[in-house]
Homo-oligomer: A and B are copies of this chain.
Amino acid sequence: MVQGLDTRAISIYSPILEELSLVEDRLHDLANTSIPELEPLLDHALSHGGKRVRPALTLLAASIIPTETDNPVKMATGVELLHLATLIHDDTVDDADTRRGRASVSGRWGKEVAVLLGDYLFATSATLVCDTGNLRVVRRFAETIMELASGELIEYFNTFNPQQEMERYYDRIYRKTASLFRTTSETGAVLSGADEDQIQALSRYGYNIGMAFQVVDDLLDILGDESELGKPVGNDLKQGILTLPTILLLQRYPEDNPIPLLFKEPGNTCYLERALEMTRNSSIIPDCFTVIREYCDKAISDLESLPRAESRDSLESMATYVRERSR
């Protein structure tokens, strides 16, 4: 059974709860290796306890066209494992000693181990995807890792750069987040034998929900409270990362804007506070809500051409859920 899901998630996942628990079992089984050095690391990394949104998307997309194979379960396990591997490398890059209140791999075993364990899990996830026997999904999976890594690199090289175009922001969050969301639902469709139009519809659905998901994250960093986020408010700006609300702040207040000052003097909490307050008290917040709503509406309309199915309703509820997360 999947631990730690709230009732809303259980209700959305209901058409695929059985398959999702098979994913959980497979993740758990991966910790049983013949290499004693790896066991404690894998135990720690695989009992991450997230909401399993990504494998759920793969399984929901796959079950719109009913299929007899367990390929969607293999793919969903690969997708979640890839996500866990990226978290391990992200924590290494960001020097984050904790994640969700637990020690991160790099915090507990050091960066050396985190780099190598991440590599090991990336490769393990790829072998799971190979086991589907479908080269198209394997290639899409490898491209996704390229997009994830390049998104993080682009972000890194643009930290503390106050001049960033909106187009580049959207490209960056596609790479960082929406690429993997796109892959979850697209590959679910491919593996269930959906036709090309259906595959493209579910690919767009994943893209749109992934974009919405990241904009919500970026907005919560301005609005959210620390206990909910698990990290301090304004963390992005503090790390020199511009997001939708702060790029809008720069565009709308070209004069006397605290962000360029903060980027010149990182750690100056006065500038940080002023930037956060100006963003919160402007039309930027409702405008960000509009962007989120538009992505979620597009995701919902992407589903229209698909056959009616309980899992299609779940994908629609997922889009509603993402939209409401930011309220």
Contact = CB atoms under 8 A, between A and B. Distances in A.
A63 interface: no
A123 B149 CA distance: 9
Interface string A275-317: 0000000000000000000000000000000000000000000
A115 B89 CA distance: 7
Nearest to A41: B153
Contacts of A150: 35, 38, 120
Given A130-B139, A135-B130, A138-B138, A116 B146 contact: no
A255 interface: no
A116 B35 contact: no
A26 to B, nearest CB: 16
A131 B136 CA distance: 10
Contacts of A115: 89, 92-93, 115, 118
Across chains A and B, which 6 residue pairs bring their CB atoms closest together, nearest first? A123-B145, A120-B149, A126-B142, A119-B149, A130-B139, A123-B146
Interface of A: 35, 37-38, 41, 89, 92-93, 111-113, 115-120, 122-124, 126-127, 130-131, 133, 135, 138-139, 142-146, 148-150, 152-154, 156-158
